[in-house]
């Protein structure tokens, strides 16, 4: 089984240095592109590989790049940004790639920049990833010193500057237009689309934002080709994916597996199944803003398509496991507290609606709920559904809530009828 | 002028120190416009002063040619910029979903019992401030927290308290 993104991670947890990365063929894709590939060819190869964004939405990467005006007469400067904000609750996959394999990300970011003919690239990193910051800084320094960045790179006529931006923290900074505002030094409220960032992004110039894991795939696609990348997936969808599991499982962690790996293999094979004394009650397949799935879904393959059909989203691919001794109402309350706190406050349904859902859940969880509260919660799920708010934060916040109301309704009802949390007494 | 006056009176917080300016200028080449330096400036000033006071906001605004309200709007938006004084060390306790399931409330209770502080409070000796933080990306080693710059994993109330012992000399080399 091929694991191009993680096979060379060092067991001691340190980062691959430039010399080590080069020994493994690192930066040959960069050289290949600069030596003889037109930017369009890079775009086409990534398009043909059918690489889809790993940031949550699964948008085809090559298509995204192809929307940037290129060639003669295109506006400059253009910007290429790696989204390393990773603040989704339960997500910890990009951290692995950032801390252990910084040059792989840099090479992917540089190739993406070349593909869209960008002049400047940024890594937008969340402030709490202190180790990643240190390692990226050193990797960027190494890359400049080796002439892989800067003016007329490797004798070509392409020049690229690459900078590290360390965020001052807010979940909304991960949303790509909010990220652009943060990069500009402003409050990170999202922007209206259109215009899309590919046309008018940072400082009004064409800008592309891609997830860290997405970009880490690019050097391998350039080196080994589109067909090779397609072949890595188990079914329709191509490539590998970093999957993670957290919660009461035997071996929480993250693993690179073929796209389309069955959930059971991730949860039982890699994570070792549930800890002794605990049963699987449900799980969020792709981080805190995805709908709950149930044990009956364990044999589904992890693809955008199949998880979508089951009523959820693959999101970040990091599973959060709900066990039978954890209160589902408490879990959803925890998530809605997070979303209410992190709402940027720009649009009314989210700014007012999320604190309202939080309060309703607080009432229910503490035994003060009423039956009609469940209807009000369901109403909020509609009011904050897709298309009703300025950005995707609020619809994402509704996903665990609406699915919990459906799958764990009796747990909500017991809280209301018994005027207390039925799980609290069973806590040891 | 205002700066010369302030310096003359010893109001050192009303202008940025040479070291602060130097750090800000080092970041300047990464951005096409100076107003983009607002977040960098806030972070740098906080590194030097521990937190961002009203005077610091005014000093940054003055230095970057922005309005003080504009700088304050940015400063109050971001989680990691402090507009109030904090202790010498900040404890960032993750209270997101996986850490919640695996016992962050017990950690919070133990900190309260040992140090007498809850979220948003600073210990009487000025050593620690406790703040909640969103998922630290350590969910495979939950519950987790940060003290200053360092992540700590797989905690229980006892191992947490062991971390809070006064650091022996020579530690914290990172
Ligand atoms: C509230 C919110 C937070 C987000 N956080 C992140 C994040 O931390 N990292 C990320 O890559 N994408 C995040 N996204 C998705 C980005 O908006 C964007 O779709 C993504 O970075 C595009 O990269 P991709 O096409 O490579 O997937 C977030 C979206 C929303 C609505
Ligand atoms: S949905 Fe929420 S986070 Fe998104 S713009 Fe509206 S208020 Fe801000
Ligand atoms: S939930 Fe605490 S580190 Fe992710």
pLDDT number for residue B174: 39
Does B116 reside within a domain? yes
Domain boundaries, chain A: 18-232, 240-323, 328-427
Pocket test for ligand 1, best of A174, A212, A394, A399 (most atoms within 8 A of CB): A174
| Residues B10, B65 share a domain | yes
pLDDT of residue A325 exceeding 90? yes
Residue nearest to ligand 1 atom 24, measured at CA = A53
Question: Which residue segment(s) compose the domain that B34 sits in?
Answer: 2-77
Contact present, A124 and A167 (Cβ < 8 Å): yes
User: With an 8 Å Cβ cutoff, are B97 and A90 in contact?
Assistant: yes
Listed residues B57, B77, B97: the one ending a domain = B77
Listed residues B77, B108, B137: the one ending a domain = B77
pLDDT number for residue A289: 97
Listed residues B77, B107, B126: the one ending a domain = B77
User: With an 8 Å Cβ cutoff, are A331 and B97 in contact?
Assistant: yes
Does B11 reside within a domain? yes
Number of domains within chain B: 2
Kindly report, residue by residue over A179-193, the tens digit of the pLDDT.
999 999 999 999 999
Identify the CA nearest to A342 among candidates B96, B42, B118. B96
Kindly report, residue by residue over A268-323, the tens digit of the pLDDT.
999 999 999 999 999 999 999 999 999 999 999 999 999 999 999 999 999 999 99
| Residues B102, B48 share a domain | no
Does B135 reside within a domain? yes
pLDDT of residue A38 exceeding 50? yes
* Average predicted confidence (pLDDT) for chain A: 97
Does B84 reside within a domain? no
| Residues B119, B60 share a domain | no
A389 lines ligand 2 (CB under 6 A): yes
Kindly report, residue by residue over B94-142, the tens digit of the pLDDT.
999 999 999 999 999 999 999 999 999 999 999 999 999 999 999 999 9
CATH class of A328-427: mainly alpha
pTM exceeding 0.90:
yes
ipTM over 0.85: yes
pLDDT number for residue B7: 64
Which ligand 3 atom sits closest to the C-alpha of A92? Answer: 4
**CATH number corresponding to A240-323:** 3.10.20.600
B-contacting residues in A 232-251 (Cβ below 8 Å): 244-248
pLDDT number for residue A425: 66
| Residues B93, B53 share a domain | no
Does B21 reside within a domain? yes
SS3 B103: coil
Which ligand 2 atom sits closest to the C-alpha of A342? Answer: 3
CA of A187 vs chain B CAs: smallest distance (Å): 5
User: With an 8 Å Cβ cutoff, are A88 and B35 in contact?
Assistant: no
| Residues B157, B103 share a domain | yes
Mean local confidence (pLDDT), A353-376: 98
| A329 near B CB under 8 A | no
pLDDT number for residue B12: 63
Homologous superfamily, domain A18-232: NADH-ubiquinone oxidoreductase 51kDa subunit (3.40.50.11540)
- Please compute Rg for chain A using Cα positions: 22
| Residues B70, B95 share a domain | no
Does B42 reside within a domain? yes
Kindly report, residue by residue over A111-154, the tens digit of the pLDDT.
999 999 999 999 999 999 999 999 999 999 999 999 999 999 99
Which ligand 1 atom sits closest to the C-alpha of A84? Answer: 9
Does B82 reside within a domain? no
Domains A240-323 and A328-427 share a fold: no
Does B83 reside within a domain? no
A283 lines ligand 2 (CB under 6 A): no
Chains A, B: CB contacts within 8 A come to 129
Kindly report, residue by residue over A58-96, the tens digit of the pLDDT.
999 999 999 999 999 999 999 999 999 999 999 999 999
pLDDT number for residue A235: 84
**Which one of B60, B63, B64, B79 would you mutate to disrupt binding with A, by most A Cβ within 10 Å of its Cβ?**
B79
């Amino acid at each position: 089984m091929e694991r191009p993104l993680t096979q060379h991670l060092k067991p001691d947890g340190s980062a691959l240095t430039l010399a080590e990365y080069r020994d493994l063929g690192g930066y040959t894709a960069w050289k290949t592109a600069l030596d003889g590939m037109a930017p369009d060819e890079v775009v086409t190869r990534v398009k043909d590989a059918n690489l889809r964004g790993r940031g949550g939405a699964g948008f085809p990467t090559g298509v995204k790049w192809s929307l940037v005006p290129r060639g003669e007469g295109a506006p400059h400067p253009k910007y290429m940004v790696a989204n390393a904000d990773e603040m989704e609750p339960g997500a910890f996959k990009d951290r692995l790639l950032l801390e252990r394999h910084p040059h792989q990300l840099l090479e992917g970011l540089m190739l993406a920049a070349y593909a869209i003919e960008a002049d400047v690239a940024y890594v937008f990193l969340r402030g709490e990833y202190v180790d990643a910051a240190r390692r990226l800084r050193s990797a960027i320094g190494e890359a400049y010193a080796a002439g892989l960045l800067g003016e007329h790179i490797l004798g070509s006529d392409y020049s690229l500057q690459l900078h590290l931006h360390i965020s001052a923290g807010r979940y909304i900074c991960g949303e790509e237009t909010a990220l652009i505002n943060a990069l500009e030094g402003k409050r990170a409220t999202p922007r209206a689309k259109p215009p899309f960032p590919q046309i008018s992004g940072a400082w009004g110039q064409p800008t592309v934002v891609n997830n860290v894991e997405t970009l880490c795939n690019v050097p391998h696609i350039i080196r080994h080709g589109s067909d090779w990348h397609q072949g890595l997936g188990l079914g329709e969808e191509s490539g590998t994916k970093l999957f993670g599991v957290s919660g009461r499982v035997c071996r929480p962690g993250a693993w690179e597996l073929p796209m389309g790996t069955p959930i059971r293999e991730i949860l039982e094979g890699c994570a070792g199944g549930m800890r002794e004394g605990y049963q699987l009650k449900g799980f969020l397949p792709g981080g805190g803003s995805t709908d709950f799935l149930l044990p009956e879904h364990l044999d589904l393959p992890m693809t955008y398509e199949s998880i979508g059909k089951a009523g959820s989203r693959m999101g970040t691919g990091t599973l959060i496991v709900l066990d039978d001794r954890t209160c589902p109402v408490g879990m959803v309350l925890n998530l809605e507290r997070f979303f209410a706190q992190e709402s940027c406050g720009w649009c009314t349904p989210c700014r007012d609606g999320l604190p309202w859902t939080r309060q309703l859940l607080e009432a229910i969880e503490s035994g003060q709920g009423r039956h009609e509260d469940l209807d009000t919660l369901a109403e909020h799920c509609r009011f904050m559904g897709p298309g009703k708010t300025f950005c995707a934060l609020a619809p994402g916040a509704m996903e665990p809530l609406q699915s919990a109301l459906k799958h764990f309704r009796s747990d909500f009802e017991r809280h209301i009828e018994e005027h207390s949390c039925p799980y609290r007494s069973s806590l040891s | 002028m205002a700066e010369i006056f302030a310096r003359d009176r010893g109001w050192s917080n009303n202008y940025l120190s040479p070291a602060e300016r130097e750090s800000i200028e080092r970041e300047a080449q990464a951005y096409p416009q100076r107003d983009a330096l607002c977040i960098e400036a806030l972070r740098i000033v906080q590194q030097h002063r521990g937190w961002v006071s009203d005077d610091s906001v005014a000093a940054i605004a003055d230095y970057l040619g922005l309005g003080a309200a504009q700088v304050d709007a940015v400063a109050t938006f971001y989680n990691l910029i402090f507009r109030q004084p904090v202790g010498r060390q900040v404890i960032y306790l993750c209270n997101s979903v996986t850490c919640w399931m695996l016992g962050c409330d017990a950690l919070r209770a133990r900190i309260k019992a040992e140090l007498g502080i809850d979220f948003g409070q600073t210990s009487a000796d000025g050593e620690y401030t406790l703040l909640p933080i969103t998922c630290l990306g350590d969910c495979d080693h939950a519950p987790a927290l940060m003290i200053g710059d360092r992540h700590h994993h797989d905690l229980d109330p006892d191992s947490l308290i062991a971390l809070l012992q006064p650091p022996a000399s020579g530690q914290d080399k990172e």
